[in-house]
Amino acid sequence: MAPEQVRSRKYTVDKKKHEAKEKAGSRDLHSKAPFSVKIPAAYLFLAPAMLAIAVFFFIPVAAAFIISFTDFDIYALSSFSNLRFIALKNYLRIFNDPLFYRALKNTFYFVIGAGPLSIAVSLGAAMLLNSPMVRLKGLFRLFYFIPVVTTLVAVAVVWRFIYHPRFGILNYLLGFLSVNPIDWLGDPDWAMPAIILMAVWKNFGYNMIIFIAGLQNIPEYLYEAAVLEGAGWWHRFKSITLPMLAPTTIFVGIITMIGYFQLFAEPYVMTQGGPLNRTLSIVQYMYEEGFRWWNMGYSAALAFVLFFIIFAAALLQLRFQKDVE
């Protein structure tokens, strides 16, 4: 059976359920008095949650948006008469700020470098752990998941030692391959790859769990049929695993991308954005402008620029998904 057939069968089941629900709902409505104002009960149930979202989400976002058109800073905190409305000046400043471009470049480097690598590693790990030949699966899953739940600061301390130019184990091991010692975190060209390596190691376990769930949803008979037809390992992977995992992959891809665009903690604890600002990410730049130097206006503007970048990237990815389908 081809994958499409499987999906369509599932869909028809869902559709029936849905129709049944609709019938039940319409009966309820008819039983009401003819003159009462009709507020569907659903809205009443939703109201508290919507209110909370409005207060704790929309209002702060709107406030931040307004702040991004002002020069809100430490002086403004002391007296509102020190606050100036400066229209688009913050945004114009961003587009003339070499440090912003530096941060943007670094962030893209990280997303493009670490994103696909991270997904590939987690898919690989998931397939290994899903293989019927592996024993003690739970134990391995736990092992691979441990970095995800470990505090980043603790991880960073360990990795700083791994990367240490003189005493680090990485350079020690590379020494056997007669590679000259590399100042991993101190060399402007190596710092970002070092951060990428660490981030991939730290995060792959999370996606791996999602991939395992996705893999377990693929019916076994598809593989059995493929084997009967004489398909090899690569063929089965390409024609069954990948297409069946497409929704999972898209989901994982978007989640990972959004997460990686918000790169902050890894360079913040490992390199503080250095050397030469080569690991400075947009979020770190935003954090420093906002909470270290209290340039709230500029920081808010940076946040919205980052939001639009992520939004555009997510749209692009969804479009890509449609094209694939």
Q: Which residues bind another protein (CB under 8 A)?
A: 71, 73-75, 77-79, 82, 84, 160, 164-167, 183-186, 188, 271-272, 274-277, 288, 291-294
Shortest approach of another protein to residue 273 CB, angstroms?
9
CA nearest neighbour of 125 among 248, 196, 212, 202: 212
Provide the minimum distance between the beta carbon of 185 and another protein in the complex, in angstroms, as a whole number. 5
In whole angstroms, the minimum distance from the beta carbon of 116 to another protein comes to 28
Q: Which residues contact 244 (CB under 8 A, 6 or more apart)?
A: 3, 214, 217, 218, 222
Using the minimum distance from each CB to another protein, give the nearer residue, 43 or 167: 167
In order, the DSSP letters of 94-143 are HHT-HHHHHHHHHHHHHHHHHHHHHHHHHHHHHHHHHSTT-S-HHHHHHH
Structure tokens at 14: 């869902």
Nearer to another protein, 82 or 151 (CB): 82
251: phi then psi, degrees, rounded to nearest 5: -60, -50
Instruction: Name which of 168 and 214 has its Cβ closer to another protein.
Output: 168
CA 319 to the chain's CA centroid: 18
| CB 194 to another protein: min, Å | 10
* 70 or 122: CB nearest another protein: 70
Q: Nearest distance from residue 272's CB to another protein, in Å?
A: 7
Torsion of CA 143, 145, 148, 152, to 10 degrees: -10
From the CB of 124, what's the least distance to another protein, in Å? 31
CA distances from 190 to 102, 114, 118, 194, 217 (A): 16, 14, 18, 6, 40
Between 261 and 298, CB nearer to another protein? 298
CB closer to another protein, 256 vs 279: 279
CA atoms in the 13 A half-sphere facing the CB of 307 = 9
Instruction: Identify which of residues 191 and 208 has a Cβ nearer to another protein in the complex.
Output: 191
Output phi, psi for 85, to 5 deg.
-85, 120
Residues 151-178, buried b or exposed e (16+ Cβ, 10 A)? ebeebbeebbebbbeeebebbeeeeeee
Task: Report in angstroms how near the CB of residue 145 gets to another protein at its nearest.
Answer: 30
Q: Which is nearer to another protein, 65 or 294 (CB)?
A: 294
Minimum distance, C-beta of residue 307 to another protein, in the bound complex (Å): 24
